[in-house]
Amino acid sequence: MRRPRNLLGANPPATVGVLVIGAATLVLPQVLSAPNLITYVTIGLATIVVAGLSLLMGYAGQVSLGQGAFYGFGAYTAAILAIHGWPPLVALVAAVVLTAAVAAAVGALLLRLEGHALAFGTLALQLIFLSVLSQTPSFSGGAIGLTNIPALTLGPIAISGYRSYAYFVWIVAAAVLLVSRNITRSRPGRGLRAMATSPSAAAAAGVGVVSYKLRDFALSAAYAGLAGAIYAFFLAYISPDAFSVMLSIEFVIMVVVGGLGTVSGAFVGAAVVTVIAQVLTSLGTGPSLPAQLPNVLSEGVYALILITLLRLMPDGVVGLASRLTKRLVPARLERRATLRPSAGTVTGPVLAPATVEANGAHAAPADGDTVPSRGGRAGGAA
């Protein structure tokens, strides 16, 4: 007898979660107020950046504290090109391509470093980027920034208003997460996992360690450039203050909160940290409070979050949820198996012994079926 097909796939909880999030993504722009829509768009943009950074940190094992520089480079590239008459969509694509090209050129040098040296090297890249912006007012607008950035258009369709940008950003975010998921399940993804575990062993197995690192670094930068370009069109104004070092640190914290090397962790980490940042900003901007209080609160809370996660949830929120699901689901299957009446033929997954006794005889599985035994072996007759 053929087993009925499970419409929810191999991981029903994950499938249900994706469907719920997808439905919420469609509904929320219709019910959120304007300030909350800005936060909603911000979460989507952060998800795009963190998806690339999660690949870099979780799979390639490379720490980057300069992701905010690529985010800003994409924003300034798209803004400058659009202001000088380029079609916004072409400027958006050019920003992504140029950001990836710059990351590949810089990464050829930076990726010779490892560990803390690489982290400090990417941090220096962020500081250089901010310095260049402040020293080129005729080109980048200096400390004032760039204004009057044209609205983003997709052919005859003009994207204007918070609600339109919310839908557009989350469509792009979903596409980025899908691409990241496919990469992690492909041969390059397996090579990245092996490389993160042991670069020397991966190289001995035929993985091009240097090439994989460089391509992953360029891809994560392209994601950041894409998000930055959309950010520039969304606000129609950018300045160096929006791409501070703290932004790069926030991206790293988002990766750790969501879970290193998890695709869905990009969304979870971005949502949690963005909401916390908004709450801290609201608490620190009350009357008669110091102007620097929001920054002080953010730094203190971020440090507390990192310490707590590394102690209690080293694999992030998604990793914790995955472990809890793996504990609960097998327990349910075990209970179903014990409650299922005995039969002469095994027609479903059995978590009990390899054979089923029926009418005093041992029934063998059907042709092509294998039944796991308690010892972990798949067998037929006892």
| pLDDT tens for each residue of 352-376 | 444 444 444 444 444 444 444 444 4
- What are the structural domains, with CATH classification, of the chain? 25-322 (1.10.3470)
Q: What is the pLDDT of residue 68?
A: 93
Single-letter residue type at 221: A
pTM of the full structure: 0.79
Task: Give alpha helix (H) positions in 185-208.
Answer: 187-197, 199-204
Assign 146 to helix, strand or coil: strand
Cβ-proximal residues to 338 (8 Å cutoff; 6+ apart), any chain = 352
Strand pairing category for 361-363 and 356-358: antiparallel
Residue 236 is given by DSSP the state S
Q: How does DSSP assign 278-297, residue by residue?
A: HHHHHHHTSTT--TTHHHHH
Q: What is the pLDDT of residue 15?
A: 59
Residue 348 is given by DSSP the state S
Q: Are 192 and 58 in contact (CB under 8 A)?
A: no
Cβ-proximal residues to 110 (8 Å cutoff; 6+ apart), any chain = 118, 121, 122, 125, 217
Q: Residue 174 phi/psi, 5° resolution?
A: -65, -40
For residue 321, the tally of other CB atoms under 10 A from its CB is 20
| pLDDT tens for each residue of 51-68 | 999 988 888 778 889 999
The residues of the chain scoring below 70 in pLDDT are 1-19, 284-295, 329-382
